[in-house]
Amino acid sequence: MLGLVLGGLLAWLGYRAQLLSSGGAVAVLVGMVIISLAAGWVWSLALLVTLASIGFWARFRQGFKRTINERFRERARLGWWQILARIGWPVMLALLYGLLTPERGVFAAYIGALAATAADGWGTELGVLSNQEPRLLISRIQVPAGTAGAISILGLVAGVAASWLIGFAGLLLTAVEAWLDQLAVAPALFWLPVAAMIGGMAGSLTDSLLGATAQGITYCEHCKERSEYRVHSCGRPTQPVRGWSWLTNDGINLVCSLVGAAVTAGAVTWLARFGGRW
């Protein structure tokens, strides 16, 4: 019931805010219900914090963002595929935890996947507002705000804050659950905020690396602008200039969450053993 209520509320708010399509709203609802049934309320609330925070920053200064870059000017409501790219791996981890192995490492990986998604989302939505032009991760060349694979100091700071917040939320919710059940929090999970920050930034920087090197980028001859789409905002077809045409931003988002999950789980294990707390 909690998953149904939280998922319905989040889906409704996202749809009303013009961030989600009907398919995207259904995907959020279904994902929240599956996570709640498989792993419990702690997991579903962690997802709620992640998606709500990204949605908040997506709405922040939305009018100004539309004047900066095609990505924001032609921003469409997220469909089910875009939502799947962001929460598909967390849903799989919740199912793994609930059906096969209730291990702490799986929960750490889940928080890491959410941390990477949040770091990427916050970094994009806040980094584009930086007064300084971002630079490509590899070449360090200055490029217009919103360019795929570009990073800025503001975006990096936002990513660090987002990933730490998700890690802290995971620890706090776990502590509340342990208090309600009159149990002790697993000592290893006290490292979760730091581990999530490491994993979240690893996933976010992997996202930027792939965006700067492998993502399919096209060019509009009429507008003299690069684009991530086959049809530019002016309505004219674009020509490929670099990267793999099949590797879109959605595919990179999926890789981002995978890297975040793996690095966070590994970081929790290493930090806990180093501190003698595993």
72-96 pLDDT tens trace: 655 567 888 889 999 999 999 999 9
CA-based max dimension of the chain:
66
3 state SS of 33? helix
- Distance between CA 142 and CA 112 in Å, rounded? 30
Q: Name the β-bridge partners of 218.
A: 227, 240
> Mean pLDDT in each 10-residue stretch from start to end of the chain (278 residues)?
88 89 93 94 95 90 69 68 92 92 87 96 89 80 76 93 97 94 87 96 93 80 67 69 79 94 94 67
175-206 pLDDT tens trace: 999 999 888 888 888 999 999 999 999 999 99
pLDDT of residue 68: 67
Question: What would the DSSP string read from start to end of 179-241?
Answer: HHTT-PPPGGGGGHHHHHHHHHHHHHHHHHHHHHHTB-EEEETTTTEEESSSB-TTS-B-EEE
| Three-class DSSP labels, 75-95 | CCCECHHHHHHHHHHHHHHHH
Predicted structure pTM score: 0.88
